[in-house]
Amino acid sequence: MSPKIIAFDADDTLWHNEPYFDEAQERFCVLFQDYASSQEILGLILNHQVKNLPLYGFGIKAFTLSMIETALQLTNHQISGKGIEQILAIGKDLLQKPVELLPNVESVLEQLKGKYKLVVATKGDLKDQHRKLHDSGIGPYFHHIEVLSDKAELDYEKMLGRLDCKPEDFLMIGNSLKSDVLPVLNIGGHAIHIPYHTTWEYEKIDFEIKHENFKSFASIEEILTIV
């Protein structure tokens, strides 16, 4: 396999992310445990997040606003200013979490650098993703950083247009079959799935992918066996 550009998803591909969201949601569930079960509350948050995606997109700020809407719904609009402040604190804490790289990420980047153009292609808040890239220390390995508002086919096509790269010369690596794999295969690119131990409900798909341009690896260093 000889791609010209190798792009990496960031959250739960380069560094840990979803456990921080799980922890934030647990804090929210504790705050509102007198109103509903954790399971019900998690369902309500997800509903608000998905409904708000066209307006807010992805990321922690959108998540925070969806928690506030969930709190309004749970309390029948009786939530106090103090309660809103506690929700904002959950969001602000998320924006200041330490960045912890997944195992072997840096050594893999070290070995790929110079042979390929390396790109980060991520969703989320622009400022937050730039902060995490900075704090991670792996920014210098990358030729280009792209924070996409979504990861649908058109978003990838626009990015490849800007990078002057044909889909067949593009390899995307990520933990989400829905966002990092399917749209890339659909436009003629190559994709590698590296599952993370926990996945956001929204990113789950309920079918198996079989495609000649698709591979699934258990960990990031397996990339080195094919490029």
CB of 116 to Mg ion, least distance (A): 20
Is the Cβ of residue 74 or residue 121 nearer to Mg ion in the bound state?
Answer: 121
> Measured between alpha carbons, how far is 100 from 11 in angstroms, rounded to an integer?
10
Does residue 175 touch Mg ion according to CB under 5 A? yes
Q: Which residues contact 81 (CB under 8 A, 6 or more apart)?
A: none
Identity of the residue, 9 or 79, whose beta carbon is nearer to Mg ion in the bound complex: 9
Query: How many residues are there in the chain?
Result: 227
**Could you say whether residue 12 binds Mg ion (CB under 5 A)?**
yes
Cα separation, 123 vs 132, in Å, equals 13
146 interacts with Mg ion by CB under 5 A: no
DSSP state of 101: B
- 30/67 Cα distance (integer angstroms): 13
> Segment contacting Mg ion (CB under 5 A): 10-18, 82-90, 140-148, 214-222?
10-18
- Residue among 186, 58, 164 nearest 119 (CA): 164
Q: Pick the stretch among 11-19, 25-33, 103-111, 211-219 that binds Mg ion (CB under 5 A).
A: 11-19
In the complex, the smallest distance separating the C-beta of residue 176 from Mg ion, rounded to whole angstroms, is 5
Q: How far is the CB of 100 from Mg ion (least distance, A)?
A: 14
How far from chain centre, in Å, is Cα 207? 20
Pairing mode, strands 5-8 and 117-122: parallel
Residue bearing tokens 């995490």: 132
Q: Does 11 bind Mg ion (CB under 5 A)?
A: yes
Closer by beta carbon to Mg ion, 12 or else 128: 12
Minimum Å gap between C-beta 90 and Mg ion is: 21
* Cβ-based neighbour number of residue 140 at 10 Å: 7
Residue 129 contacts Mg ion per CB under 5 A = no
Q: How far is the CB of 25 from Mg ion (least distance, A)?
A: 17
Residues within the interface to Mg ion (CB under 5 A) = 9, 11-12, 175
